Amino acid sequence: MSPAGCPHVNGFKVDNWKQNLRVIYQCFVWSGSAETRKRKKEEGGDPQPVALSRPLQAKSCICHMCGAHLNRLHSCLSCVFFGCFTKKHIHEHAKNKRHNLAIDLLYGGIYCFVCQDYIYDKDMEQIAKEEQRKAWKLQGVGEKYSTWEPTKRELELLRHNPKRRKITTNCTIGLRGLINLGNTCFMNCIVQALTHTPLLRDFFLSDRHKCEMQSNSCLVCEMSQLFQEFYSGHRSPHIPFRLLHLVWTHARHLAGYEQQDAHEFLIAALDVLHRHCKDDNGKKANNPNNCNCIIDQIFTGGLQSDVTCQVCHGVSTTIDPFWDISLDLPGSSTPFWPLSPGGDGSTLNGESHLSGATTLTDCLRRFTRPEHLGSSAKIKCSGCHSYQESTKQLTMKKLPIVACFHLKRFEHSAKLRRKIPTYVSFPLELDMTPFMASSKESRMNGQYQQSVDVFNNDNKYSLFAVVNHQGTLESGHYTTFIRQHKDQWFKCDDAVITKASIKDVLDSEGYLLFYHKQFLEYE
């Protein structure tokens, strides 16, 4: 096709061609008017707004040759004829009648049978956009799904900056301190972890969020602005006063200038972000929360619970969504399962048991071991139809993109309140395969047997952030280690950012550990 575009369009642009094209878009592509939507609904078409599902096609729109309703139906622009594109019935019509142009009723594109390609024409494209916006407005969708078109200011910036800015290994873009607004280190450390989450960073920096809230109280909008601030190249510490205000507004239990728990803030922040950017278009997502929002896409996993009757061995299975996994530690009042007997599994995930140190793998093994519920916790078995003793085992049914592990260092009970300082060794790279529900058969009696599938990269993670707590339960301070590039780490202590070594990271106490799926990282 020549740079001037398709030369066969001019044959269509005669008489009332604009009005005719608008009618086709209104009736058969975008279903803009209430009358056409009602007719399509009565004829069995999907009544949902076009922007929330695939464009609607009425049952009256069938191929005039084979009677099929689908198969990429196209409508001739020169006469009233519908034909299948897949079976080339529209091609036969175009050849026999010499009608060169047809419109795809599924997406609205114009096809030229002489050029043998979908074409672009400025006038036709403008009509298509206008009718699409009208349809969305009539259906109450608004501008949520409108395509981005650069303003004059943005076009000018693009002309003067033709090259994409690349983050090199020695670049410090994205590193920015946060002012402590009065015991707000618990918030600052989580913000640092979130702003360095690879897929979350990609989402916000590509300006994907379209706000529908009426007031200026959207936490997602503030996070989007925060990402822009972090990756703007400015070096001075940022003052997150608006973020703090919104957190106080939407999570009132965190309001005030008292020190709060970083883990509690993380869950509260994810919950508010999830509620403010929830995509309620009715389409179920492929995660246990059945939500399409970016938070659930990245952080939500599925935890499988298998309860086995000790009499009939029947198994009752439930799957619950989770944003993080809380792990018990040795030294707590909870009885801890004996770890690594006889050195078995001592090098799993690259961890070692120096001086009997507990590893993250140990904690995960304990978390996923079968647990006898005892006679005081009998459940009604659906097989026996009576209350029986049972065992319960947790495994990972679906892994999230970001796996967050919460080491339960703060113990609160009726008798005592204290911090558990037990050192836990954690790896830079983590393989979650042994803890999957699919790997349950490879573990017998709570003992790990290494999976033979060493090439399963879907379950492999890389560490990218570690939140630490120094001090006691009553008086302490939060800091974060974040990974800027592969093997390049920095310590974030409120407004101060300093270079850190991998040893500094791995020797730290660890409170919240953030891992990202390796094959989805863009480093």
d(CA 523, CA 505): 19
516 an active-site residue?
no
For residue 95, give every residue at least 6 positions away whose Cβ sits within 8 Å of its Cβ, in sequence order, or none: 113
Nearest to 484 by CA among 178, 226, 198: 198
Nearest to 400 by CA among 422, 432, 428, 373: 432
Structure tokens belonging to residue 102:
């047809």
Which letter does DSSP use for residue 343 in this model? Answer: G
How far does the chain reach from its first CA to its final CA, in angstroms? 38
Exactly one of 64, 69, 353, 477 is catalytic; name it.
Answer: 477
Could you give the residue ranges of the DSSP H alpha helices within 179-279? Answer: 185-195, 198-205, 219-230, 241-250, 262-276
Q: How many CA atoms lie within 13 A of 17 on its CB side?
A: 12
Q: No. of H helices and E strands in the chain?
A: 13, 23
293 an active-site residue?
no
State the helix-helix crossing angle for 219-230 and 241-250, rounded to 10 degrees.
160
| Burial group, residue 441, by CB count within 10 angstroms (0-12, 13-18, 19+) | exposed
The strand ranges marked E within 399-521 are: 402-407, 410-412, 417-419, 424-425, 429-431, 460-471, 476-485, 488-493, 496-500, 512-517
Provide the 10 A C-beta neighbour count for residue 392. 16
Q: What are phi and psi of 318, to 5 degrees?
A: -130, 150
| Burial group, residue 132, by CB count within 10 angstroms (0-12, 13-18, 19+) | buried
Contact 31, 37 (CB under 8 A): yes
Structure tokens belonging to residue 226:
């925060």
Contact 403, 396 (CB under 8 A): no
Alpha-carbon dihedral sign for residues 87, 91, 93, 95: negative
Exactly one of 185, 218, 291, 404 is catalytic; name it.
Answer: 185
Q: Catalytic amino acids?
A: 185, 477
